[in-house]
Structure 1
Amino acid sequence: MIEFNGWAIIRESFKEEDDNDKLLNSIVNKIELKISELDYGNEIYSLKGLNGTYHLSIMANHNHRTEHVIDFFKWISHISKGSYGILYVQDDEDIERGNENKFKVWVMKKGKVSEQNDTYLSPMNPEVEE
């Protein structure tokens, strides 16, 4: 099983002086289009504007490993350099890397996404399960 839970704040720039509403609206439209193209079961994507800020939520749960959710998260960082957020991933099939009992955290900031170790829920047994 692989589980994804995450969020991102969608911004066009990480420098306030580079803010551009037209560019932000274009980015939001691209993300909405991409979400409409993601035709996978067991996934929820929600992009909402709240008080002038766009919030993306991601939840997914699959029986077997899939990379498209992480690829989508990376794509967002590529098209909107100011976006930031985290994507928690628990993949019990990530045995080769020794992560079958751990959460990994994909961190988005300043146009890049990096995989980090989780310190709050890992190891899954005994932190979350027994």
Structure 2
Amino acid sequence: MIEFNGWAIIRESFREEDDNNELLNSIVKQIEQKILVELDYGNEIYSLKCLNGTYHLSIMVNHNHRTEHVIDFFKWIAEISKGSYGILYVQDDEDTERGNENAFKVWRMKKGKVTELNDTYLSPLNPEIEE
């Protein structure tokens, strides 16, 4: 089983002086289109909402087997919207080659880059969450 839980704030720039509403609107439309057309899988929820002028993306995914398209989507967002930031928690019990079957991995998005990090809050899955 693989599970993804995450969020991102969608911004076109990480510098206030580089803010551009036209660019932000274009980015939001691209993300909405990708969700609608390319990410129409079962067992997945993507929600992009504007709250108080800020775009919030929520991601919830649960599959029986490993899939990479969610991480690829997260990386793509970082590429097209350098000011976006967020966290994607991943628990993959099939990640045995890297020894992560009992751990969460954290994918951090900031300043146009996505980095995989070790989790310190929920790992190891057993005994922190399960016994």
Measure, in 2, the Cα distance between the counterparts of 1:27 and 1:3: 26
Cα distance in 2, alignment partners of residues 120 and 111 from structure 1: 25
Cα separation, 2, equivalents of 1:14 and 1:128: 35
CA distance in 1 between partners of 2:32 and 2:41 (Å): 15
SS at match of 1:32: helix
Give every structure 1 segment of 4 or more consecutive aligned residues whose post-TM-superposition deviation is greater than 6 Å: none
**Which residue identity lines up with residue 61 of structure 1 in the other structure?**
N
Q: Percent sequence identity over matched residues?
A: 85
Distance across 1 between alignment mates of 2:69 and 2:20: 29
Superposed CA deviations along residues 26-52 of structure 1, whole A, max 9, x for unmatched, are: 000000000001121100000000000
State whether structure 2 residue 53 is matched by structure 1 residue 52.
yes
Q: How many residues align?
A: 130
Q: CA RMSD in A?
A: 0.3
CA-to-aligned-CA distance 1:56-92 (integer Å, 9 cap, x gap): 0000000000000000000000000000000000000
* Partner in structure 2 of residue 5 of structure 1: 5
Structure 2's unaligned 5+ residue stretches are none
TM-score normalised per structure 2: 0.99
Look up the equivalent residue of 2:90 and give its one-letter code: V
Alpha-carbon separation, structure 2, partners of 1:56 and 1:93: 26
Q: CA deviation at 1:106?
A: 0.2
Q: Which residue of 2 aligns with 1:97?
A: 98
- What SS is found at the alignment partner of 2:97? coil
Q: In structure 2, how many angstroms separate the alpha carbons of the residues matched to 1:51 and 1:20?
A: 17
Following superposition, the deviation at residue 5 of structure 1 comes to 0.1
Unpaired segments ≥5 residues, structure 1 = none
